[in-house]
Chain A
Amino acid sequence: MRNLTGLLFAGGLGFMLLAIASGLDFGAPPMLVGGAIQAAAPQETGATNIVTSVVLGYRGIDTLGELSILFAAAASAGLVLGRRHTTAGTLTEGGFVLKHGGAMLFPLLLTIGFYIIFHGHLTPGGGFQGGVILAAAFFLPLLARPGARLHHGMLSVIEGFAGSSFILIGLAALSEGEAFLQPMLVQDALGQLVSAGTLPLLYLAVGLKVGAELAGLLSHLAQTESEV
């Protein structure tokens, strides 16, 4: 009975929403704000990737909130899972190919991760995407050698300093008499690697924080799993 009502409810909801959504003008959005941002972004922020301008400039405080959410999730997971590192290496080690493949991939992943972070204001990608790749670089060896440990102290130092430097860059603008998180030092070099003022710095902070956060979360989960 419960199943039937649940199904009917979800189906009904879906159809009702579909009926309403089909009235929307698909493919020709109003773009009130989006259009204005497209027109103004290259001059105001100096980034060719307009999504980056939105993520770090126009909606910068959203990004700060999002970093805080990741931090809150990692801290909560740490609280829940605790700090016990007792039973190590109960899982079998990976084979030759896995171990050495993982080791070889590490520098490559690191390079591409930082490349994506540093080009976030020019091409698709940026701090979040690059950060995830960095996290993968550190997590991959853990999959190959379940006994290995990530240095949690190091990770929390990186994530703390990355997060606080994001805020410090914002506060620097405030102390210069501008608004919090206002882009500064915007050079007239659209499309160059060194351009867009403080945005690449912000993205570097985001990338490091996301990388440290995810690597910490994953290794926490992996360790706990090997305890069960």
Chain B
Amino acid sequence: MSDLIVLPLVLPLFGAFLLPIVMRTSISIGAWIGPAILAYGCWILGDQWISGTTLPFSLAIGGFAPPMGINLYIDSLALLFAFAVQLLGLLFWPFKIDQETARRQALMLLLVAASTGLALSGDLFNLYVFYELVAVATFGLIAASGGSAAYASAIRYLILSGIGSVLTLLGIALIYSQTGTLNLAHLAQLAPEQLNNKLGLTAFLTILIGVGVKAELFPVNTWVPEVYATATSRVSAFLAGLVSKLALLIILRLLVLIFHQPEAIQVMLVLGILGVISGELAAWRAKDMRRMLAFSSIGQLGMIFIALAIPEQGGLLAVLALTFHHLLIKSGLFMLADGWGGAIEKLRGAAKRSPLAAAIFVLFSLSLIGMPPLPGFWAKFTLITQLAAQTSPLYLIGLTVFLLATVIEAAYLLRLAALLYGPAAKDTPIDTLAKPAGLSLATASLFGIGLLAAALFIAPVGDLLNHVAGQAANTDLYINTVLAGTGGSQ
């Protein structure tokens, strides 16, 4: 049964290759291929979770035992992410039928497959390959979604992303020169002796900056506002909600398994703090909803980087809580921006036009700010207690910035909420006000329901996350699971 875990990764690729041929003969059959594959992927992964297969386990692709071959490593965290990828792929499926449907849907399938690969793969270079596949599919989807500005933002994103991939490749080359292996578990075994030096630190920093491009890390996130403002809401939601988190997952794995240098953690903390400051201030200044959300996303990811810099299991718990919380909220908010994407001023009084959308917006905002009893409060509370427990002054700066950012966040989100519920401008009849599209509103409502459910069952969700964090933080478990029986094949 566990062999089938490779299908959610491979079937979308298969579907993407065949889609243009099928669409050539029948669009109506072709239109069902993608959703069917993704639904099947959801089913396999969900079944894996429910049937209680002993996690974690490792699956050698091609039957070559790691570290010689590539393996998939499936623990609760990877499974959770893989499931989220397939589900969100389904929710954000580009249904629109026109002459480019085949290509757009094929790209979406490739994006889903690559994201699943990022969640599951246990090999450094294989992660790089999937990371690049995510990038290329993303460029296509952005460029396909709009006018000239979309082309311009896509090329700027492509160039920045290209710098990132050169740096990542350089880091991989350095690691391979030093250790002679690419398997994460094998690297984790060798790291204390061979990578605990300047070379290891350099390799980590180059990979951090490289992968940080997608994780919206501070100096390499200039693409964020441009891309989210020009791409369609669905693409933006998938990128901000999921892809950024998957890039973060790579960094998390590398930190937990391989790189333990204090310098690495400090650099990340500083970049995270700068990200929070720059993101939140820019979001406060933003005059349209899409860019406000984009900048706020930079700030949120900065917070997650701060949490990632806490070298204990508690920090990991905070990372996971913030990550999944942000995943729900940002995806939902970007769905609302489908229709409300324009200037904030134009949304004056829009609550009357679409009360449900306004209510969902307020719900998301309150959780994002951290209002109890919504899940955002628990996520932020975990981070605050963890930060306060640290002794180094840098963490206290992080705590201060974090609290300040929350205030700014509250300021701009509540300002928009007040506008929504305020009176409409005098000369605009309510019918002419903007309103989120029906399908997007329904999707946003789903995220809202998910958020409320998490608030209701906060105790079991917390336990689950704690369990997931415990499993992810266990380096020995990872090494033993992957290299069991091969003895590391020294």
Interface pair A68/B16, CB less than 8 Å apart:
yes
CB distance from B314 to the nearest CB of A (A): 33
Interface check A1, CB cutoff 8 A: no
Interface pair B107/A76, CB less than 8 Å apart:
yes
CB distance from B167 to the nearest CB of A (A): 10
Q: For the complex, would chain A's binding face be called helix, strand, loop or mixed by DSSP majority?
A: helix
CB distance from B239 to the nearest CB of A (A): 15
Decide yes or no: A24 and B178 within 8 Å by CB, A44-B64, A76-B144 being known contacts: yes
Out of A31, A33, A65, A159, name the residue touching B133 (CB < 8 Å): A65
**Closest residue of B by beta carbon distance from A157:** B21
Interface pair A61/B126, CB less than 8 Å apart:
yes
Interface check B28, CB cutoff 8 A: no
Interface pair A62/B126, CB less than 8 Å apart:
yes
Interface pair A164/B144, CB less than 8 Å apart:
no
Out of A23, A75, A182, name the residue touching B140 (CB < 8 Å): A75
Residues of B within 8 A of A153 (CB): 24
Q: Please choose the segment from A78-86, A97-105, A113-121, A140-148 that sits at the chain B interface, where 4 or more of its residues have CB less than 8 A away.
A: A78-86
Interface pair A174/B151, CB less than 8 Å apart:
no
Out of B63, B68, B106, B143, name the residue touching A33 (CB < 8 Å): B68
* C-alpha gap A179/B60 in the complex (Å): 7
Residues of A169-216 at the interface with B, using a CB-CB cut-off of 8 Å, are: 170-171, 173-174, 178-183
Out of B68, B113, B144, name the residue touching A40 (CB < 8 Å): B68
Interface check A37, CB cutoff 8 A: yes
Most chain A CB within a 10 A radius of its CB, from B16, B133, B151, B183: B133
CB distance from B68 to the nearest CB of A (A): 6
Interface check A30, CB cutoff 8 A: yes
Residues of B within 8 A of A164 (CB): 14, 17-18
Interface check A167, CB cutoff 8 A: yes
Interface pair B125/A33, CB less than 8 Å apart:
no
Interface check A123, CB cutoff 8 A: no
Interface check A108, CB cutoff 8 A: no
Interface check A228, CB cutoff 8 A: no
Out of B3, B16, B140, B179, name the residue touching A76 (CB < 8 Å): B140
**Residue interface mask B121-150, A partner, CB < 8 A = 1:** 000011001101100110111011000000
Residues of B within 8 A of A59 (CB): 69-70, 125-126
Q: For the complex, would chain B's binding face be called helix, strand, loop or mixed by DSSP majority?
A: helix
CB distance from A178 to the nearest CB of B (A): 6
Decide yes or no: A182 and B63 within 8 Å by CB, A72-B107, A76-B143 being known contacts: yes
* C-alpha gap A182/B177 in the complex (Å): 28
Interface check B198, CB cutoff 8 A: yes
Chain A's interface size range is 35 or more
**Closest residue of B by beta carbon distance from A35:** B180
Number of residues of chain B lying within 8 A (CB) of chain A: 61
Residues of B91-121 at the interface with A, using a CB-CB cut-off of 8 Å, are: 99-100, 103-104, 106-107, 110, 113-114, 117
Interface check B182, CB cutoff 8 A: yes
Residues of B within 8 A of A181 (CB): 61-62
* C-alpha gap A164/B136 in the complex (Å): 20
Most chain A CB within a 10 A radius of its CB, from B3, B59, B60: B3
Interface pair B60/A37, CB less than 8 Å apart:
no
Residues of A within 8 A of B339 (CB): none
Residues of A within 8 A of B13 (CB): 64, 68, 163, 167
Interface pair B179/A30, CB less than 8 Å apart:
yes
Interface check B67, CB cutoff 8 A: yes
**Closest residue of B by beta carbon distance from A33:** B181
Interface pair A159/B17, CB less than 8 Å apart:
yes
Interface pair A72/B62, CB less than 8 Å apart:
no
Interface pair A179/B129, CB less than 8 Å apart:
no
Interface check B396, CB cutoff 8 A: no
Interface check A20, CB cutoff 8 A: yes
Decide yes or no: A61 and B143 within 8 Å by CB, A21-B174, A69-B132, A161-B21 being known contacts: no
**Residue interface mask A55-70, B partner, CB < 8 A = 1:** 0011111101110110
Interface pair B10/A171, CB less than 8 Å apart:
yes
* C-alpha gap A75/B100 in the complex (Å): 10
Interface check A139, CB cutoff 8 A: no
* C-alpha gap A79/B101 in the complex (Å): 10
Decide yes or no: A160 and B202 within 8 Å by CB, A33-B182, A71-B110, A179-B60 being known contacts: no
**Residue interface mask B1-24, A partner, CB < 8 A = 1:** 001001000100110111111001
Interface check B489, CB cutoff 8 A: yes
* C-alpha gap A182/B106 in the complex (Å): 26
Residues of A within 8 A of B371 (CB): none
Residues of A within 8 A of B182 (CB): 33
Interface pair A61/B199, CB less than 8 Å apart:
no
Interface check B26, CB cutoff 8 A: no
Residues of B within 8 A of A68 (CB): 13, 16, 110, 113-114, 133
* C-alpha gap A183/B99 in the complex (Å): 39
* C-alpha gap A23/B133 in the complex (Å): 33
**Residue interface mask B343-359, A partner, CB < 8 A = 1:** 00000000000000000
Interface check A36, CB cutoff 8 A: yes
* C-alpha gap A37/B59 in the complex (Å): 19
Decide yes or no: A75 and B180 within 8 Å by CB, A20-B199, A68-B16 being known contacts: no
* C-alpha gap A75/B174 in the complex (Å): 33
* C-alpha gap A179/B2 in the complex (Å): 11
Residues of A147-167 at the interface with B, using a CB-CB cut-off of 8 Å, are: 153, 156-157, 159-161, 163-164, 167
Interface check B432, CB cutoff 8 A: no
Most chain B CB within a 10 A radius of its CB, from A40, A69, A72, A79: A72
Interface pair A69/B136, CB less than 8 Å apart:
yes
Minimum-distance CB pairs A-B, first 4 = A76-B140, A30-B180, A163-B17, A179-B63
Chain B positions within 8 Å of A, measured between CB atoms, are 3, 6, 10, 13-14, 16-21, 24, 59-64, 67-70, 99-100, 103-104, 106-107, 110, 113-114, 117, 125-126, 129-130, 132-133, 136-137, 139-141, 143-144, 151, 170, 174, 177-183, 186, 198-199, 202, 489-490
A-B contact pairs, 14 of them (CB 8 A): A20-B174, A33-B183, A37-B68, A59-B69, A61-B117, A68-B16, A71-B106, A76-B107, A78-B103, A83-B99, A153-B24, A156-B20, A161-B21, A182-B62
